[in-house]
Amino acid sequence: MWNKQQNDLPGAAASQGPGSTVASFNSPAGQRVSTSSPAARNTACLGTSIQINGKISGEEDLQIDGKVEGPVSLQGQRLTVGRTGQLNSEIVAREVIVYGKVSGNLRARDRV
């Protein structure tokens, strides 16, 4: 039942959960080989009902859909402020994407 889809499309990409992509193909020796996409990253999320007063720091990508008051430091990572996100923060990250509202200074190594 589950293997039918994989057998019908050899070499097709398959998804293994949110944010990860695995490509499968047959090697010249006829062996099944799977490789992970290096661009696939895990993202931590703070939901719309979450309110934080204090410092946030971490070593993974973060999406904020709630309210945050205090500095956010994600050196080398991506911060996404969702449509319902409201931040009153000093932000330092590799990349900052804003769909919601941010008050404060934004510093990004790559782009805002």
Tell me: the pLDDT tens digits for 85-97? 999 999 999 999 9
pTM here is: 0.65
Residues 61 and 106 in one domain: yes
**8 Å CB contact between 82 and 96:** no
pLDDT at 7 over 60: no
Q: What stretch of H or E contains 98? A: strand 91-98
User: Do 24 and 79 belong together in one domain?
Assistant: no
On whether both 77 and 30 belong to a single domain, the answer is no
In angstroms, rounded to a whole number, what is the distance separating the alpha carbons of residues 107 and 101?
A: 16
Domain assignment of residue 22, given as a range: 9-36
Q: Are residues 91 and 47 in the same domain?
A: yes
Are 50 and 101 in a shared domain? Answer: yes
How many CB atoms are closer than 10 A to CB 85? Answer: 22
Lowest-pLDDT range, 15-19, 47-51, 55-59, 72-76? 15-19
Judge whether residue 105 has pLDDT over 80. yes
Question: How many angstroms separate the CA atoms of 103 and 41, rounded?
Answer: 27
Number of domains in the chain: 2
Is 2 within the bounds of a domain? no
Among residues 27, 36, 69, 63, the alpha carbon closest in space to that of 51 is found at 69
Whether residue 102 is contained in a domain is answered as yes
